[in-house]
């Protein structure tokens, strides 16, 4: 080859090289979409408010254990029974932001300026507040105003907002959401809770306002009262069917009830890891509460009233003999009823009509709103028991049993205001069984029912029911100045520190 | 007039040559090496003419040559021999050229270059370095090359190997580029165990067979590998496969049969106290169940104690041989047959190999087949055609889970109470077909027999690696080379947790299939010219286009319906999915080498890479980067007259920039869809790491300076290198606050410095007619330092131990990256000590738990290899001692042995309690006795420092005693050579400070070195090699 051929050859080479340098199309991810409609984001944020690990170790393992609805002889796995500190305390924080908070925020980003999605945006604002209130109720001050939007805002290290400000923010968002709900605008996209029923969302929004308002009763009484009154005026849930829940579907891992799935997958009924607490069982038994048949069963499936037995809180396999000298086997203690609440398609309940009635009864007793507290209390009991039908045939409680229960006249027997509030708080505790987050928050606010802290020797928090969760340790290496700012304001990052609204 | 005289002289010469032609004789003879082995392919040439031939497979030649002419014998790497042509047969013995002045090594892009011209350190391993085989080719480098750190985790024979050259330069990839016959291979890893366990899925380099390898050149770091641009930040390993040689047909058979035995320090286990809690043997079956794997029972006194199966048996130490009773029958069988040969125009080599491995873990095995063809043909018009095709087939059964509990059958071997014989778990399942557990309360302590025979894992890999090259030598100065090569891999895998598995009774199954690979096309135009007598010039420019891809499909079934029928269709819920990626890099590159009088060499190179992974519509930052390099080599011994004892002296220096690629699809946010519920599809952001539209590849800048000195006629040689390697813009997958919605963000922020020295000392301390001793010591020291992580983050946790994870038992230890510290430090909670170093105890008699602090470095800074070859007549003895120093390891195995009371250290204080040696808060000696179980469980759960050990070691890595059968003996059989070798690998550890486990234990080839828990025991391997040359 002579050099006269060289130039054309080189040119050819270079051309081949540069032609294939048009790479823009080659870097488009073939596995995932680069855009998304709002509907699926809302469906995601609703469905994945819980997952298996969180359900097992936070919802049951901490919350329900701490308020003695459940008990366990395990240590780390069910750490709330003995007030032990595990990484799970921080995991709830991490997973909340990484899953539903991130996606509900993206939903807001994608709907806030879009007229076609005004109802979806309204629901997103209300639902975001629901999701955030759970997190802040567990930790106190948390990242809120700068949270969950790292890609768009480039804020990688969000500041911690004060819980008082978070409450104002959530209430403001709910009110904005309620004001935007518009039956004549295009419907809600992807709503698996109410299937797009705007009226039900209005009731839910107001009921959530009622919950948040009551929560602030000691911390900011005037704002609390105003919020509660606004909620009642706006119209809260008034029928068991107003319940806010996720109806799960059996057959696919992602749509099953996460608690049922984790019980089944890990064989928790057989292993005896989770038991009904002796405290809770005694309440059900002394009041012959028909909900005992729905909630409890022995591991072999027996639901006989007399055979049900609760496990005392605060013991492990070695010390259980101190409390139960005749202890033989965990098989003798009641656990969750697999034929009702542990069905794979069992719904996960977030806010009920019964709760709303109880909160109203309480507000009436406090003279915040008008009405008949007894009537609301009885509505609550009826609603809660009727609501058990959501767990299928074995959940149905007959009217006769309900009336028999009410015929005990528990309300009349509670003579003092204190006794009445205790009854209402205790009923709340029974009615919100399984929704450990709410049972725990309401117990901290009201102090009802009276619980005796456990005295497990191996626990650094022996004798003190925790008042909050501690932050994830990774925040101290990554977002140190902000988390320390929160600690300076709120108090030491300890289980015993009380959050802003916890002033009892 | 002058012209006429010239013409006359020319005529005279011609005539004389004509006359000589008529006076020709046939010269016969044999060429052998110093050991007497026939040498084939030796060029036999009449000096000053083009008349010549090559020796055949038996070293014989026959050549018509003018009487009284000089015959020249030459062969690469040997001193040329000259002889007068005679009628009587010639016996030529060729000696290896120790000085190897003209030694040619294969460098970047497959370019053969004279070693003396190189401006950087390079190590080349020849065939004889691979005498003692390993199941992973890369692991055979251990101890042989300075600056190279080889890590072989304890994950079984089918596991991966981690190679780092000159330290860890990145928080991302630190492994070198592997190039086979000029074409980069796909060294993808198919999964590594992590904190939550898993199996080592193997890597790409492991499938190549060392029997097919001619040489391996280690291009250490950026300067040597700069021509590979964005892929060369971690150096490159250039592998050249064997080709045919001219002359006759060579048929070679290589066989090796070796055995493995587990190496466990049983003296670090206690055999005095049995299963139980709080110092008492279990009185009831329920207490036995509750005790599970805990060895906190009573003294093994021979009394009858109830066992997990409900039977009372004497309480004695029957478990002393648990390891050897369980891990047995491990062997490796390797056979390789090759046929090679060629003539002036065609060279060929065909080889087939069969390797079988029975791993230490029962029913865990691997089969591997290699078939390769290598063909070189000289076509007309100066065109050379070269191709190789390697087919690799791997079938693996039951890779073992390590580190975590789940499906890890090794756990009970390390933790079983001494009064239980492992063989009592041999039925694997109970009467109802469920996993036979030591205790139903400890479902995660898997039955090792259940794992071996009921749980099922398998994978199958079929792979074609091939390249085709055409070279056109246009004229004396110009050549053109084109090459296309690809590595295409198909892999299927299956994982079954059968119904009845202890920790997951419903069972599950997953199937996966992946199709992946890498194709490179390259064109290169070369130009070489002598400018004048002093200066000459070699150069080339080229273009390369790389495409890599992976496409994988997975299917998953959960909860079997009918037991024993393990298919996806037989499950209650099924799911599946597919994912793929593609990545492209286009490059232009070039190199110029100037040489002055063959004693001064200057080399400059440059490469520009364009990345698909950095391309996006509307992106404002560039998608390409330029990587330059420059180097100088100066042969002082050629330039000046030096004393005769100084045989050779060269100095060299170089500078280069290289990089590491970016993975695709990291520039924008994407979304994925999940389950549909009530007709509503769920969708969410799929990124957990915030993408970065301004990302660029990291840059690694390296400098090195070195010298190569040889003394006393090359009896002693020193090769010394000092290098600096600075990584900038390292892509940090920086952990960010989860409150941002994401766990990480991609940022170009990291700065990591590495510097170090490499020293190779080679000597021939003894050389007589009969005995020769060659020795070589390679030493390296690498100092790494994290300079910056991000402007916000000064440290992050790269990995944490299984112990203490998620609040489980044991104490958490961490691998940290921390500014100012070396790469990958081990951190954990420590003892609190007073100013005299005494451990401080609390009122309860337990040591006070101290802060989380640095407890060691996970990567050894020092590596030393010491190789020896003794040759005495037909015997040769090869010994390789390998050692590493300065690194530490956190041993979860030891931690859990404290927790469960199987560690020998937990014997102290069993009867009367432990009084920890140290002081109370007030400084007076501690005298509080704590029950042994409480004490050691506390230590196990709180003091990481106790379980961080010096991981330094000295091992007899390889040994081979070879014997060549006498020639007269084998000639009768019509063979050329038979060699028999006794070989051994890891036969002895001279030095180790870590109890229970091997100092080289680990569960991953990832960056998180320095953690260990419940792997397979280390193995001792020995057996025989047989080599027959027909």
CA distance B615 to chain A (A): 5
Mean pLDDT confidence for A385-401: 96
Check CB contact under 8 Å for B675 and A47.
Answer: yes
Q: Which pLDDT does position B19 carry in this prediction?
A: 45
Reduce the DSSP state of residue A62 to 3 states and report it: helix
Judged by a CB distance cut-off of 8 A, whether residue A103 touches chain B is yes
ipTM of the complex: 0.92
How sure is the predictor about B1012, in pLDDT bands with cuts at 50, 70 and 90?
A: very high
Angle formed by the axes of helices A118-139 and A198-215, nearest 10°: 30
Give the one of A13, A86, A247 whose C-beta lies nearest to B806's C-beta: A86
Q: Which pLDDT does position B20 carry in this prediction?
A: 45
Q: Which pLDDT does position B18 carry in this prediction?
A: 46
Taking contacts as CB-CB distances below 8 angstroms, the residues of chain B near A156 are 690, 734, 736-737, 740, 742, 745, 792
Taking the C-alpha atoms of residue A265 and residue A88, their distance in angstroms, rounded to an integer, is 19
How sure is the predictor about B47, in pLDDT bands with cuts at 50, 70 and 90?
A: confident
Q: Which residue has the higher pLDDT, B715 or B414?
A: B414
Check CB contact under 8 Å for B616 and A10.
Answer: no
Q: Which pLDDT does position B11 carry in this prediction?
A: 44
Q: Which residues contact B477 (CB under 8 A, 6 or more apart)?
A: B527, B528, B529
Token pair in block for residue B917: 């040696």
* φ, ψ dihedrals at B231, nearest 5°: -115, 5
Taking contacts as CB-CB distances below 8 angstroms, the residues of chain B near A482 are 737
Q: Which residues contact B730 (CB under 8 A, 6 or more apart)?
A: B169, B170, B171, B172, B698, B748, B749, B750, B751, B752
When the pLDDT of each residue in chain A is averaged and rounded to a whole number, the result is 94
The model's pLDDT over B785-797, given as tens digits with 9 standing for 90+, comes to: 999 998 878 888 8
Check CB contact under 8 Å for B795 and A477.
Answer: yes
Taking the C-alpha atoms of residue B501 and residue B433, their distance in angstroms, rounded to an integer, is 9
Q: Which pLDDT does position B91 carry in this prediction?
A: 85
> Is B112 exposed, middle or buried, given 0-12, 13-18 or 19+ CB atoms closer than 10 A?
exposed
The model's pLDDT over A441-451, given as tens digits with 9 standing for 90+, comes to: 999 999 999 99
- With a cut of 80, say whether residue B741 has pLDDT above it: yes
Report whether B184 contacts B229 (CB < 8 A): no
Report whether B438 contacts B308 (CB < 8 A): yes
| Among B129, B146, B158, CA closest to B1005 | B158
Taking contacts as CB-CB distances below 8 angstroms, the residues of chain B near A43 are 677, 680-683
Q: Which of B19-33, B189-203, B696-710, B811-825 has the lowest mean pLDDT?
A: B19-33
Residue B635 DSSP code = E
Taking contacts as CB-CB distances below 8 angstroms, the residues of chain B near A329 are 286
Domain layout of chain B by residue ranges: 21-94, 178-263+353-407+455-615+627-824+859-895+953-992+995-1029, 825-856+904-946
The model's pLDDT over B460-496, given as tens digits with 9 standing for 90+, comes to: 999 999 999 999 998 889 999 999 999 999 999 999 9
Token pair in block for residue B656: 């280069």
Reduce the DSSP state of residue B947 to 3 states and report it: helix
Check CB contact under 8 Å for A88 and B685.
Answer: no
Q: Which residues contact A62 (CB under 8 A, 6 or more apart)?
A: A79, A80, A88, A89, A436, A440, A469
- With a cut of 80, say whether residue B17 has pLDDT above it: no
Cis upstream peptide for A40 (omega within 30°):
no
Check CB contact under 8 Å for B737 and A157.
Answer: yes
Domain layout of chain A by residue ranges: 38-196+467-492, 253-336
Report whether B333 contacts B356 (CB < 8 A): yes
Mutate to test the interface with A, among B521, B737, B808 (most CBs of A within 10 A): B737
Please give the biggest Cα pair distance in chain A: 113
Q: Which residues contact A294 (CB under 8 A, 6 or more apart)?
A: A337, A340, A341, A388, A391, A394, A395, A397
What is this structure's pTM? 0.83
Q: Which CATH class is domain A38-196+467-492?
A: mainly alpha
Break chain A down into helix, strand, coil percent, rounded to 5.
55, 5, 40
% of chain A surpassing 70 pLDDT: 96
CA distance B807 to chain A (A): 5
Report whether B731 contacts B790 (CB < 8 A): no
Judged by a CB distance cut-off of 8 A, whether residue A320 touches chain B is no
Q: Which residues contact B223 (CB under 8 A, 6 or more apart)?
A: B119, B120, B629, B631, B654, B655, B656, B702, B703, B704
- With a cut of 50, say whether residue B14 has pLDDT above it: no
Check CB contact under 8 Å for A31 and B743.
Answer: no
- With a cut of 80, say whether residue A8 has pLDDT above it: no
Q: Which pLDDT does position B62 carry in this prediction?
A: 87
Cα-based distances in Å from A129 to A24, A177, B154, B249, B471: 40, 10, 50, 82, 70
How sure is the predictor about A18, in pLDDT bands with cuts at 50, 70 and 90?
A: low
Residue B302 DSSP code = S
Taking the C-alpha atoms of residue A124 and residue A108, their distance in angstroms, rounded to an integer, is 6
- With a cut of 60, say whether residue B375 has pLDDT above it: yes
When the pLDDT of each residue in chain B is averaged and rounded to a whole number, the result is 91
Q: Which pLDDT does position B97 carry in this prediction?
A: 64
CA distance B825 to chain A (A): 16
Q: Which pLDDT does position B80 carry in this prediction?
A: 82
The model's pLDDT over B856-887, given as tens digits with 9 standing for 90+, comes to: 999 999 999 999 999 998 999 999 999 999 99
Reduce the DSSP state of residue B204 to 3 states and report it: coil
Token pair in block for residue A289: 């509460």
How sure is the predictor about A6, in pLDDT bands with cuts at 50, 70 and 90?
A: low
Check CB contact under 8 Å for B680 and A43.
Answer: yes
| Among B41, B92, B96, CA closest to B871 | B96
Token pair in block for residue A397: 């409680």
Give the one of B440, B610, B676 whose C-beta lies nearest to A23's C-beta: B610
Mean pLDDT confidence for A412-434: 97
How sure is the predictor about A4, in pLDDT bands with cuts at 50, 70 and 90?
A: low
Taking the C-alpha atoms of residue A106 and residue A121, their distance in angstroms, rounded to an integer, is 11
Report whether B89 contacts B571 (CB < 8 A): no
Helix segments in A84-220, DSSP class H: 88-96, 102-111, 118-139, 150-153, 163-180, 198-215
Q: Which residues contact A325 (CB under 8 A, 6 or more apart)?
A: none
% of chain B surpassing 70 pLDDT: 97
- With a cut of 60, say whether residue B8 has pLDDT above it: no
Token pair in block for residue A342: 């542990």
* φ, ψ dihedrals at A50, nearest 5°: -145, 155
Report whether B170 contacts B727 (CB < 8 A): yes
Using H for helix, E for strand and C for coil, what is the string for B172-188?
Answer: CCCCCEEEECCEECCCC
CA distance A86 to chain B (A): 5
Report whether A259 contacts A56 (CB < 8 A): yes
Mean pLDDT confidence for A37-48: 96
Taking the C-alpha atoms of residue B563 and residue B579, their distance in angstroms, rounded to an integer, is 31
Task: Give the CATH fold of the B178-263+353-407+455-615+627-824+859-895+953-992+995-1029 domain.
Answer: Maltoporin; Chain A (2.40.170)
Give the one of A20, A39, A249 whose C-beta lies nearest to B677's C-beta: A249
The model's pLDDT over A336-356, given as tens digits with 9 standing for 90+, comes to: 999 999 999 999 999 999 999
Check CB contact under 8 Å for B584 and A155.
Answer: no
Q: Which residue has the higher pLDDT, A336 or B976?
A: A336
Interface of B with A in 760-799 (CB under 8 A): 792-793, 795-797
Judged by a CB distance cut-off of 8 A, whether residue B997 touches chain A is no
Q: Which residues contact B366 (CB under 8 A, 6 or more apart)?
A: B135, B157, B158, B355, B356, B357, B359, B394, B395, B396, B397
- With a cut of 70, say whether residue B379 has pLDDT above it: yes
Q: Quick one: CATH architecture of B21-94?
A: Sandwich (2.60)
Check CB contact under 8 Å for B575 and A142.
Answer: no
Report whether A281 contacts A71 (CB < 8 A): no
Taking the C-alpha atoms of residue B892 and residue B940, their distance in angstroms, rounded to an integer, is 9
Q: Which of B638-647, B818-827, B933-942 has the lowest mean pLDDT?
A: B638-647
The model's pLDDT over B283-305, given as tens digits with 9 standing for 90+, comes to: 999 889 989 999 999 999 999 99
| Among B62, B61, B58, CA closest to B38 | B58
Long-range contacts of A329-332 (CB under 8 A, 24+ apart): A329/B286, A330/A73, A330/A272, A330/A275, A330/A299, A331/A272, A331/A298, A331/A299, A331/A300, A332/A298
- With a cut of 70, say whether residue B626 has pLDDT above it: yes
């Amino acid at each position: 080859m002579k050099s006269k051929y060289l130039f054309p050859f080189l040119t050819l080479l270079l051309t081949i090289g540069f032609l294939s340098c048009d790479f823009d199309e080659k870097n488009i991810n073939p596995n995932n979409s680069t855009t998304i409609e709002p509907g699926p984001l809302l469906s995601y944020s609703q469905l994945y408010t819980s997952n298996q690990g969180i359900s097992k170790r936070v919802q049951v393992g901490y919350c329900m254990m701490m308020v003695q609805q459940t008990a366990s002889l395990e240590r780390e796995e069910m750490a709330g029974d003995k007030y032990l500190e595990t990484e799970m305390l921080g995991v709830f924080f991490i997973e909340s932001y990484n899953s539903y908070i991130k996606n509900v925020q993206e939903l807001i980003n994608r709907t806030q300026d879009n007229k076609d999605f005004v109802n979806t945006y309204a629901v997103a604002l209300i639902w975001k507040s629901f999701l955030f209130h759970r997190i802040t109720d567990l930790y106190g001050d948390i990242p809120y105003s700068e949270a969950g939007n790292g890609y768009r805002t480039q804020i990688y290290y969000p500041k911690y907002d004060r819980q008082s400000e978070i409450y104002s923010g959530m209430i403001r968002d709910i009110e904005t959401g309620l004001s935007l709900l518009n039956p004549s605008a295009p419907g809600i996209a992807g709503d698996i809770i109410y299937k797009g029923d705007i009226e039900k969302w209005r009731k839910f929004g107001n009921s959530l306002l009622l919950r948040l308002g009551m929560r602030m009763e000691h911390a900011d009484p005037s704002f609390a009262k105003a919020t509660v009154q606004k909620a009642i005026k706006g119209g809260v849930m008034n029928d068991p069917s107003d319940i806010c829940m996720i109806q799960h579907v059996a057959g696919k891992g992602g749509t099953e009830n996460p608690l049922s799935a984790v019980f089944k997958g890990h064989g928790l009924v057989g292993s005896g890891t989770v038991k009904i607490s002796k405290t809770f069982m005694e309440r059900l038994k002394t009041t012959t509460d028909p909900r005992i048949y729905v909630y409890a069963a022995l591991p072999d499936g027996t639901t006989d009233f007399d055979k049900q037995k609760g496990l005392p809180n605060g013991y492990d396999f070695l010390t259980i003999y101190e409390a139960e000298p005749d202890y033989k086997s965990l098989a003798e203690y009641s656990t969750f009823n697999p034929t009702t609440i542990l069905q794979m398609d069992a719904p996960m309940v977030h806010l009920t009509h019964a709760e709303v009635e109880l909160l109203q009864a309480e507000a009436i007793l406090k003279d915040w709103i008008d009405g008949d507290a007894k009537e609301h209390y009885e509505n609550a009991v009826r609603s809660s028991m009727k609501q058990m039908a959501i767990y299928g045939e074995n959940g149905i409680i007959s009217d006769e049993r309900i009336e028999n229960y009410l015929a005990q006249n528990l309300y009349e027997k509670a003579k003092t205001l204190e006794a009445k509030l205790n009854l209402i708080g205790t009923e709340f505790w029974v009615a919100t069984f399984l929704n450990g987050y709410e049972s725990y928050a309401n117990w901290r606010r009201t102090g009802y029912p009276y619980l005796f802290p456990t005295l497990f020797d191996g626990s650094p928090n022996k004798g003190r029911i925790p008042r909050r969760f501690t932050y994830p340790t990774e925040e101290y290496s990554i977002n140190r100045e902000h988390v320390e700012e929160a600690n300076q304001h709120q108090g030491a990052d300890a289980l015993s520190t009380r959050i802003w609204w916890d002033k009892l | 007039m002058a012209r006429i005289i010239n013409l006359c002289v020319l005529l005279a010469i011609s005539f004389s040559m004509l006359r000589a032609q008529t006076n020709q004789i046939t010269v016969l003879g044999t060429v052998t090496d110093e050991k007497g082995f026939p040498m084939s392919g030796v060029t036999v040439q009449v000096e000053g003419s083009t008349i010549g031939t090559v020796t055949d497979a038996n070293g014989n030649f026959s050549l018509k040559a003018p009487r009284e002419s000089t015959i020249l014998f030459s062969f690469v790497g040997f001193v040329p021999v000259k002889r007068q042509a005679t009628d009587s047969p010639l016996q030529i013995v060729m000696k290896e050229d120790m000085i190897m002045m003209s030694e040619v090594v294969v460098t970047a892009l497959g370019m053969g270059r004279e070693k003396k011209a190189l401006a950087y350190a390079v190590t080349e391993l020849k065939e004889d370095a691979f005498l003692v085989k390993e199941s992973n080719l890369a692991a055979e480098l251990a101890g042989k090359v300075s600056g190279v750190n080889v890590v072989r985790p304890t994950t079984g024979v089918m596991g991966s190997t981690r190679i780092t050259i000159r330290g860890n330069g990145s928080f991302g990839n630190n492994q070198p580029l592997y190039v086979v016959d000029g074409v980069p291979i796909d060294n993808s890893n198919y999964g590594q165990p992590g904190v939550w366990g898993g199996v080592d899925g193997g890597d790409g380099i492991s499938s190549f067979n060392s029997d097919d390898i001619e040489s391996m050149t280690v291009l250490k770091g950026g300067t040597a590998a700069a021509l590979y641009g964005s892929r060369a930040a971690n150096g490159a390993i250039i592998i050249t496969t064997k080709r045919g040689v001219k002359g006759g047909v060579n048929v070679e058979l290589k066989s090796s049969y070796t055995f493995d035995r587990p190496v466990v320090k049983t003296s670090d286990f206690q055999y005095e106290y049995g299963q139980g809690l709080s110092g008492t043997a279990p009185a009831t079956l329920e207490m036995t169940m509750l005790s599970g794997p805990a060895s906190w029972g009573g003294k093994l006194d021979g009394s009858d104690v109830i066992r997990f199966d409900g039977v009372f048996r004497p309480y004695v130490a029957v478990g002393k041989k648990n390891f050897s009773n369980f891990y047995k029958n491990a062997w490796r069988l390797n056979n390789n047959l090759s046929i090679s040969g060629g003539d002036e125009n065609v060279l060929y080599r065909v080889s087939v190999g069969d390797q079988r491995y029975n791993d230490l873990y029962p029913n865990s095995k691997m089969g591997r087949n290699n078939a390769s063809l290598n063909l070189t043909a000289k076509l007309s018009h100066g065109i050379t055609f070269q191709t190789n095709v390697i087919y690799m087939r791997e079938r693996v059964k039951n890779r073992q889970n390590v580190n975590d509990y789940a499906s890890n059958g090794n756990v009970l071997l390390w933790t079983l109470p001494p009064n239980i014989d492992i063989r009592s778990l041999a039925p694997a399942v109970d009467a109802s077909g469920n996993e036979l557990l030591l205790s139903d309360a400890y479902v995660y302590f898997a039955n090792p027999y259940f794992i071996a025979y009921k749980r099922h894992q398998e994978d199958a890999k079929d792979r074609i690696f091939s390249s085709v090259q055409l070279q056109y030598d246009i004229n004396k100065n110009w050549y053109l080379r084109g090459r296309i090569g690809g590595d295409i891999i198909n892999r299927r895998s299956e994982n079954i947790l059968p119904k009845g598995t202890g920790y997951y009774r419903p069972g599950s199954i997953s199937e996966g299939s992946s199709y992946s690979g890498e194709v490179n096309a390259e064109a290169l135009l070369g130009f070489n010219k002598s400018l004048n007598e002093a200066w000459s010039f070699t150069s080339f420019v080229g273009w390369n286009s790389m495409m890599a891809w992976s496409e994988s499909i997975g299917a998953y079934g959960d909860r079997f319906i009918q037991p024993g029928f393990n298919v996806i269709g037989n499950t209650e819920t099924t799911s599946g999915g597919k994912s793929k990626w593609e990545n492209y890099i286009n490059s232009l590159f070039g190199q110029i080498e100037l040489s002055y009088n063959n004693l001064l060499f200057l080399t400059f190179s440059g490469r520009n890479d364009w990345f698909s992974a950095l391309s996006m519509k509307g992106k404002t930052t560039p998608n390409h980067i330029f990587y330059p390099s420059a180097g100088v080599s100066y042969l002082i011994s050629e330039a000046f007259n030096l004393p005769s004892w100084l045989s050779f002296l060269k100095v060299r220096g170089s500078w280069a920039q290289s990089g590491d690629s970016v993975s695709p699809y990291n520039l924008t946010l994407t979304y994925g869809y999940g389950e549909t519920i009530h007709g509503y599809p769920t969708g969410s952001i799929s990124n957990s790491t915030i993408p970065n539209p301004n990302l660029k590849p990291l840059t690694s800048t390296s400098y090195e300076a070195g010298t190569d000195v040889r003394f006393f006629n090359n009896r002693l040689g020193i090769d010394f290198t000092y290098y600096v390697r600075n990584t900038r813009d390292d892509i940090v997958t920086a952990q960010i606050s989860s409150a941002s919605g994401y766990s990480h963000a991609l940022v170009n922020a990291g700065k990591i410095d590495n510097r170090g020295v490499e020293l190779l000392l080679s000597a021939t301390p003894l050389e007589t007619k009969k005995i020769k001793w060659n020795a070589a010591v390679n030493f390296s020291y690498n100092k790494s330092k994290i300079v910056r992580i991000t402007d916000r983050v000064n440290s992050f946790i790269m990995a944490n131990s299984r112990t203490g994870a998620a609040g489980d038992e044991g104490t958490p230890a961490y691998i940290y990256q921390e500014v100012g510290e070396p790469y990958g430090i081990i951190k954990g909670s420590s003892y609190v000590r007073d100013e005299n170093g005494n451990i401080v105890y609390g009122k309860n008699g337990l040591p006070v738990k101290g802060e989380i602090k640095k407890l060691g470095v996970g990567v050894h800074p020092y590596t030393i290899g010491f190789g020896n070859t003794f040759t005495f007549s037909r015997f040769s003895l090869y010994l390789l001692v390998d050692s590493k120093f300065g690194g530490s390891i956190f041993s979860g195995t030891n931690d859990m042995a404290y927790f469960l009371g199987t560690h020998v250290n937990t014997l102290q204080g069993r009867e009367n309690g432990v009084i920890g040696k140290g002081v109370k808060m007030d400084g007076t000696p501690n005298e509080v006795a704590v029950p042994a179980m409480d004490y050691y469980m506390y230590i196990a759960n709180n003091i990481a420092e106790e379980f961080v050990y010096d991981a330094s070691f000295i091992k007899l890595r390889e040994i081979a005693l070879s014997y060549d059968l006498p020639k007269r003996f084998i000639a009768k059989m019509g063979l050329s050579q038979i060699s028999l070798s006794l070989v051994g690998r890891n036969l002895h550890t001279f030095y180790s400070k870590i109890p229970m486990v091997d100092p080289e234990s680990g569960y991953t080839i990832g960056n998180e070195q320095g953690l260990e828990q419940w792997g397979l025991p280390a193995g001792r391997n020995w057996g025989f090699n047989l080599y027959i040359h027909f």
